[in-house]
């Protein structure tokens, strides 16, 4: 059997120096790899105490997007990047809060006690109702023009439904539920959109069979604009040795409103800052962008904005995005190996990031970190434009998730150290100068065997 030690004796220094060759040969003994000198250049410098202190500072107040708490966090992150000499940018973007001032749906003089969708358009319209079923794309006819669309919930998003009927000229939307309740969802749009119960909706469907029905929608929603931020810090490679490629390492700096977000996601931010601190003093041949995103908790608004403002030439050069979110939860992960560390991809497929992650943990901890399928964080928009990306997280998540108890007391330094070391060692495989540009290197192919896990996350 190939044990850890026997493999070391098999490897020569020159083999270690050309990592691609080493990986190809060590496939005979899966996971029987050892910490390399390259790994040590990164992992020996990682300080869980530094990370802990960052989390402590960031988690003294909530950092809800668009609040002074976010700005306080952003200023801290920015100052850290700047003190490292990094080219640092604060990228503002707008976010919107909605305040409902009036929400009424009236049919035949009866008030249906409807609820306006958050993000609904404002207006007072009276028009005939038209039943458009679920308003699936391609099924809505021109009949709806100038009328109010009666829509059933399900199959596609509210936003899509409203878009589909508005595109055909509907002046309002009356949406009924699949279950009980009449207060659901977000429907960005120009026309008033009001939710009613399933029973009310079905009654209207019946009524329409007997002749025209007129409805009135009266909605007044105030839109309040706020500003949230992405912080970007660029680390440029050696001018004489530049692969032209870019690696991004990110976390979200915002928290939910009622929690200090120590683990979610000051922990990820602390690792981004720590890796920045280490990589500024390490020769590299690939640009690294350290990113912290605002408004992740509102639906990845910051990372989506960041990706949307990138020139295509940057996107084309981006070869890997490492997202860290909730990487320090002491009570996360149950009895899974590596404290429950797992790499989630949007499509549930392996990619360069997961290959390098699994290889890193097998070298560092003798265990190949598994992968799984999950969105729910800022790796989504990177994936959407074709950049190999993965979320590093401990799952199942801890009981403090999104609660006021997500505080520094529940942070594990060991978990921080492990997750940051994994991402640091994995990213270093790409950015260190002795590996050739990725498309010509052997670091990309699957390096160790690692498993798909369909693990419950919360």
Q: Contact residues for Zn ion (CB under 5 A)?
A: 264-265, 325
Residue nearest to ligand BES (CB): 376
Closest CA to 289 of 315, 255, 266, 328: 315
Which segment (218-226, 293-301, 311-319, 431-439) binds ligand BES by CB under 6 A?
Answer: 293-301
| Measured CA angle at 393 (ends 295, 317), to 5 deg | 70
Query: Which residue number, 132 or 397, has a Cβ lying nearer to ligand BES?
Result: 397
Query: Which residue number, 50 or 377, has a Cβ lying nearer to ligand BES?
Result: 377
The DSSP symbol for 154 reads B
| Nearest distance in Å: CB 345, ligand BES | 13
Return the residues of window 19-38 that contact ligand BES according to CB under 6 A: none
| Measured CA angle at 311 (ends 308, 317), to 5 deg | 110
Q: Could you say whether residue 397 binds ligand BES (CB under 6 A)? A: yes
- Beta-strand ranges (E) seen in 332-454 are 341-345, 371-373, 389-394
CA-CA-CA-CA torsion sign (105, 106, 107, 113): positive
Task: Tell me, residue by residue from 374 to 393, as one string, x for binding to ligand BES by CB under 6 A and - for no binding.
Answer: x-xx---------------x
Beta bridge partners, 115, equal 195
| Nearest distance in Å: CB 349, ligand BES | 18
| Nearest distance in Å: CB 390, ligand BES | 12
Query: Which residue number, 93 or 401, has a Cβ lying nearer to Zn ion?
Result: 401
List alpha helices for 67-195, DSSP H. 68-83, 158-166
376 binds, among ligand BES, Zn ion, none (CB under 5 to 8 A by kind): ligand BES
| Nearest distance in Å: CB 400, Zn ion | 12
Q: Could you say whether residue 269 binds ligand BES (CB under 6 A)? A: no
Closest CA to 282 of 424, 88, 442, 444: 424
List alpha helices for 185-297, DSSP H. 198-209, 267-279
Task: Tell me, residue by residue from 401 to 420, as one string, x for binding to ligand BES by CB under 6 A and - for no binding.
Answer: x-------------------
Alpha-carbon distances, residue 54 vs 13, 80, 221, 250, 311 (angstroms): 38, 10, 39, 15, 32
Query: Which residue number, 41 or 402, has a Cβ lying nearer to Zn ion?
Result: 402
Q: Could you say whether residue 286 binds ligand BES (CB under 6 A)? A: no
| Nearest distance in Å: CB 323, ligand BES | 10
Quick one: which of 264, 285, 355, 406 contacts ligand BES (CB under 6 A)? 264
**What is the Cα–Cα distance from 166 to 145, expressed in whole angstroms?**
8
Q: Could you say whether residue 296 binds ligand BES (CB under 6 A)? A: yes
Identify the three-state secondary structure at position 161. helix
Quick one: which of 39, 70, 287, 297 contacts ligand BES (CB under 6 A)? 297
Beta bridge partners, 341, equal 394
With CB under 6 A, what is the number of residues at the site for ligand BES? 17
DSSP string for residues in 280-349: TTS--SSEEEEEEES-GGGTSHHHHHHHHTS-HHHHHHEEEEEEE-S--BTT-STT-GGGGEEEEESSS-
Quick one: which of 212, 283, 299, 399 contacts ligand BES (CB under 6 A)? 299
Collect all residues with Cβ–Cβ distance below 8 Å to 25 and sequence separation of at least 6: 10, 15
Q: Could you say whether residue 78 binds ligand BES (CB under 6 A)? A: no
Neighbour-count burial for 284-307, b at 16+ CB within 10 Å, e otherwise = bbbbbbbbbbbbbbbebbbbbbbb
457 binds, among Zn ion, ligand BES, none (CB under 5 to 8 A by kind): ligand BES
Query: Which residue number, 273 or 393, has a Cβ lying nearer to ligand BES?
Result: 393
| Measured CA angle at 422 (ends 416, 426), to 5 deg | 150
Quick one: which of 246, 319, 326, 387 contacts ligand BES (CB under 6 A)? 326
Q: Could you say whether residue 50 binds ligand BES (CB under 6 A)? A: no
| Nearest distance in Å: CB 298, Zn ion | 11
**Interface residues toward ligand BES, by CB under 6 A:** 264-265, 296-297, 299-300, 325-326, 374, 376-377, 393, 395, 397, 401, 457-458
């Amino acid at each position: 059997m190939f044990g850890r030690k026997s493999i070391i004796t098999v490897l020569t220094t020159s083999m270690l120096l050309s990592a691609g060759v080493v990986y190809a040969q060590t496939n005979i003994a899966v996971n029987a790899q050892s910490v390399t000198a390259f790994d040590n250049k990164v992992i020996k410098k990682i300080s869980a105490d530094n990370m802990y202190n960052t989390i402590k500072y960031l988690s003294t107040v909530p950092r809800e997007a668009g609040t002074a708490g976010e700005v306080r966090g952003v200023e801290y992150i920015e100052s850290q990047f700047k003190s490292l000499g990094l080219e640092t940018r604060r990228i503002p973007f707008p976010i919107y809060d909605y305040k409902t001032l009036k929400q009424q749906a009236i049919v035949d003089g009866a008030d249906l006690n409807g609820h306006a969708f958050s993000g609904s358009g404002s207006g007072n319209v009276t028009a005939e109702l038209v039943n458009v079923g679920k308003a699936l794309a391609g099924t809505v006819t021109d009949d709806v023009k100038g009328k109010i669309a009666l829509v059933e919930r399900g199959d596609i998003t509210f936003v899509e439904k409203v878009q589909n009927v508005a595109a055909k000229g509907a002046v309002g939307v009356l949406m009924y539920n699949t279950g009980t309740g009449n207060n659901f969802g977000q429907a960005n749009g120009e026309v008033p959109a009001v939710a009613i119960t399933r029973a009310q909706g079905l009654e209207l469907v019946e009524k329409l069979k007997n002749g025209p029905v007129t409805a009135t929608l009266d909605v007044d929603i105030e839109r309040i604009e706020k500003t949230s931020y992405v912080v970007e810090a660029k680390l440029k490679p050696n001018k004489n040795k530049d692969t032209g490629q870019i690696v991004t390492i990110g976390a979200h700096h915002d928290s939910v409103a009622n929690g200090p977000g120590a683990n979610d996601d000051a922990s990820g931010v602390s690792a981004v800052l720590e890796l920045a601190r280490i990589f500024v003093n390490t020769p590299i041949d690939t640009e690294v962008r350290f990113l912290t995103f605002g408004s992740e908790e509102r639906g990845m608004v910051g990372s989506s904005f960041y990706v949307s403002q990138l020139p295509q030439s940057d996107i084309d050069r981006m070869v890997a995005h490492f997202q860290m979110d909730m990487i320090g939860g002491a009570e996360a992960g149950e009895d899974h190996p590596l404290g429950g560390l797992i790499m989630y991809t949007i499509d549930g497929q392996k990619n360069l990031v997961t290959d390098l992650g699994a290889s890193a943990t097998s070298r560092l901890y003798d265990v190949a970190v598994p992968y799984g399928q999950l969105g729910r964080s800022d790796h989504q928009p990177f994936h959407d434009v074709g950049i190999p990306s993965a979320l590093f997280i401990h799952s199942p998540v801890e009981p403090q998730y999104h609660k006021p108890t997500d505080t520094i007391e529940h942070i594990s330094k060991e978990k921080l150290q492990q997750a940051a070391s994994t991402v640091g060692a994995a990213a270093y495989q790409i950015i260190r100068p002795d590996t050739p540009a990725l498309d010509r290197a052997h670091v990309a192919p699957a390096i160790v065997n690692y498993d798909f896990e369909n693990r419950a996350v919360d």
